Amino acid sequence: MLTRVVFNQKGGVGKSSITINLAAISAQQGLRTLVIDLDPQANSSQYLLGEDATYSADKAALEPNIENFFEDILGATQQKSLIGNALGSILKVPRGKGLDSYVHRTSFANLDVIPASPSLGTLEHALESKHKIYKLRDSIQSLSARYDRIFIDTPPAFNFFTLSALIAADRVLIPFDCDVFSKRALQTLIENVIETQDDHNDRLEIEGIVVNQYQSQAKLPREVVQQLKDDGLPVLESMLPPSVLMKESHQKNLPLIHLASEHKLTLAYVTLFNEIESKQ
């Protein structure tokens, strides 16, 4: 089993899109794949589960979810319930169950998800104060017989949940869009990853920087990417071009490989997936 975390402290760089589309390709290629959504915005959850995982002021979060997992760790209320199947039975999540108790199957073969919750952040202080930073790692290790690949989507911040993901992961992918502000933020991000390696997870590797929205005909993106390479940063050769197809993919809750398998953006994702897999 290989666990990847997709992380950037800067928002709007395509974390969720990269997470889901790589996971969907992984599953389509026959690898048993799980997505864990740690971002309260729940974009990855909605991408895979559709309206069931769309939150609003008058709609409760889909359960069981990753917040329930962390509540369970804290010994919080264990009596939350949800409709478990079409017959309307009630599914309880008892204290002490493994991480697999929070998994939802998607409509795509070999692809499961543990959805996010918009109120996940309310648990952060309690989790930190009780030193629960290794619990996600320990629980993920118990899934090794069930999954070949795990992808973790993270919030755009270096917080308890992101650190938990980095501690649990074997590899980290860093989405990057070609602007000066993103370049400036990279150094801080990499320092955080290296500190995590030193203090918590010596097997963690930076798998590469994923250049997103790359316009090969424009001068500035080419210059910025070359600067990253000149600085010795691990820029992946497979870069993702901009395309309106991504918005359509979001609207239809369909990963690109299932929406338009021969489109140039889909093929760029397949090339990217093959590149990172070839390094294993």
Is 259 within 8 Å of 245 (Cβ atoms)? yes
Q: CA-to-CA distance for 217 and 67, rounded, in angstroms?
A: 44
C-alpha distance across the termini of the chain, in Å: 11
Residue-level pLDDT, tens digit, the chain, 280 residues: 999 999 998 888 899 999 999 999 999 999 999 999 999 999 999 999 987 777 766 677 889 999 999 999 998 444 333 334 333 334 444 445 789 999 999 999 999 999 999 999 999 999 999 999 999 999 999 999 999 999 999 999 999 999 999 999 999 999 998 776 677 788 889 999 999 999 999 999 999 999 999 988 888 889 889 999 999 999 999 999 999 999 999 999 999 999 999 999 999 999 999 999 997 7
């864990």: which residue's tokens?
36
Residue located via tokens 């204290």: 95
Nearest one of 189, 203, 76, 77 to 137, comparing CA atoms? 203
What is the helix (H) or strand (E) element at residue 260, kind and residue range? none
Domains, in order of start, for the chain: 2-80+92-279 (3.40.50.300)
Is the distance from CB of 14 to CB of 213 less than 8 angstroms?
yes
What is the enclosing helix (H) or strand (E) of 151?
Answer: strand 149-153
Rg (CA), the chain: 18
Q: Which two tokens stand for residue 35?
A: 């997505």
- The DSSP element (H or E) to which 131 belongs, if any, is none
The CB density around residue 159, as the number of other CB atoms within 10 Å, is 15
